[in-house]
Structure formats: C-alpha cells, structure tokens
Amino acid sequence: MLRVGAHTSIAGGAYNAVDEQVDYGGNCGQIFSHSPQVWQDPDIEDEEAQQFRDRSAEHGVGPWVIHSSYLVNLCTPKDDLREQSIDAMQKEVDAAAKLDIEYVNVHLGAHTGAGVDGGLDNAASALSELDVPDGVTVLVESDAGSGTKLGGEFEHLATVRERTDLDIEFCLDTAHAFAAGYDLSTPEGVDETLAEFDEVVGLADLACVHLNDSKHECGTNKDEHAHIGEGEIGEDGMTAFVNHDAVRDLPLVLETPSEDGKSFAWNIERVRELRD
C-alpha cells in the first residue's frame, strides 16, 4: 500500500497533526515536537500523547517521524553546541517514545572547520551518546551538502553508521540528493541513484523518504523544495521514483512548499496520480 503523508503541525496539541494529516489525505507523516528554530524542550502532556496515539490508530496513520530541531549540529567541533545537540536529540527520542513514534530524523549538520572526517567522527560519537528507547530509531537524513554540511554524499551516511555504536537507519530526501548531485530527473538517473545508495549504504537501512521536488538544478547544493513534478526533478523523475521497487513500500513524507497556493493535499494527490 502507498504510504504518503506530509509534515503537519502539533500546534494546539499533538493530536491535531493527525487530524491535519487526515484532512490532507495522508496516511503517514512527520512533526516537529516543538519550534525547530529555537532550543526548546518538547512539552507533550500524557493525555495529549494518548490522544495522538489513539487518533493515529483510529485513522490508520503511520509511521510518524519527528524531525529534530534545525539547531542540532552533530558534526560540530564546538563543545557547547555538541552538548546542546546531544541533549536536544535525547529529548526528541524520549518524546518519540511517549507518542509511540517510530523515527526521529536528524541532519548530520556542518563540520564548520573540523573537516569531513573530523565532522563525521563528531557525529558518530554524538549519536553513540544517545540512550534511545526501544521502538524508536534515529534516521540520519541525506543532505544537500551546502557549505560544510555533511550527508550530501552517500559515503558520509555509511561512514557514520560504521563509526557509531547507535543502531541508525536513514532517510533519503529527493530534493537534497538531487541538489547534492544525484540526478533523479530521469528513469535512468533514478535507477542509478538508488543502485548507488544500495551499494554504498544498503537499501535495507533506508527507512523513510522525504519526497520533495527541487527548485534548483542537480548539483547546485541549494536546498529549496518544490511541488511534486513541478521542480527540476520534474514529472518523469518523480514518476520513476515513486514507482521504483527500491522505495515503493517506504513511507513518503512531503515537505513541499506551503506558502504559494498548492497545499499538501494537492501534493499528496499528485503522488497518488503518479503512482501506478
């Protein structure tokens, strides 16, 4: 069955994210546990968590992903930022357990001068410090690779897994991978990219897809999402991707733009149309 959903808001109560998801026509999804632009602890009441779990079960919505704060930087060489990042991640995995959410998604962050190897080391050891509750898995997301951000190359993901004690899995963001230089705009490109992911990382550890089109061309390292089929990946690439055997059973979570008229509902419907 096609699992497709959007990033929805917990404003007014975590369970509202479920109602919003159902309104959009989604059957899986992603949330922030708090505002992602600031350091803030998730503050989810027991009753609210219960309602989130009940409504998700009632409407058959899942899996869910918590996307960690944008401030988290696992690669950082700065001690205080590293401690804050580990602390924030610990609270995210605990919030996930409370909500019965399977995945916590995180970007590796930027090495800001530590170098690629040093940054990957920092991320791996930071992840090793987490005490992740049973039933929760940390997903490291592929990145667009701007500046000193790591995770643009699939090799980075494999290296972190090799170096960390934590059992991690991965989230592939189509807009990020495309911006990082993996061409997903043609059926051949999709085939090659997923074969490369399989060879370098292994599809067995790919748990989730962030399905976004890209406003910028392949290899530009620019991370700006576009509506499904309307960006540089385009309809051919998206059609090939959502029907590819390697990913067709994975949850497809949309982070498409919401400020320019086309809603998540429109994008979810679009994915259903492109799917055979």
Q: How far is the CB of 256 from Zn ion (least distance, A)?
A: 11
The single residue among 48, 121, 173, 223 that binds Zn ion, judged by CB under 5 A, is: 173
* Residue 102, C-beta contacts closer than 8 angstroms, at least 6 positions apart: 62, 63, 64, 65, 96, 135, 136, 137
By CB under 5 A, is residue 210 in contact with Zn ion? yes
Span 138-167, contacts to Zn ion by CB under 5 A: none
Cα distances (Å, whole numbers) of residue 262 to 130, 176, 210: 38, 21, 18
Residue 65: its H or E element: strand 64-67
Q: What angle do CA 230, 235, 239 make, to 5 degrees?
A: 135
The residue (of 34 and 107) whose beta carbon lies closer to Zn ion is 107
Torsion of CA 125, 196, 135, 23, to 10 degrees: 120
Of 52-60, 202-210, 242-250, 265-273, which segment contacts Zn ion by CB under 5 A?
202-210
The residue (of 76 and 142) whose beta carbon lies closer to Zn ion is 142
Q: How far is the CB of 203 from Zn ion (least distance, A)?
A: 18
Q: How far is the CB of 209 from Zn ion (least distance, A)?
A: 9
Q: How far is the CB of 77 from Zn ion (least distance, A)?
A: 24
The residue (of 55 and 67) whose beta carbon lies closer to Zn ion is 67
The residue (of 34 and 210) whose beta carbon lies closer to Zn ion is 210
Footprint of Zn ion (CB under 5 A): 173, 210
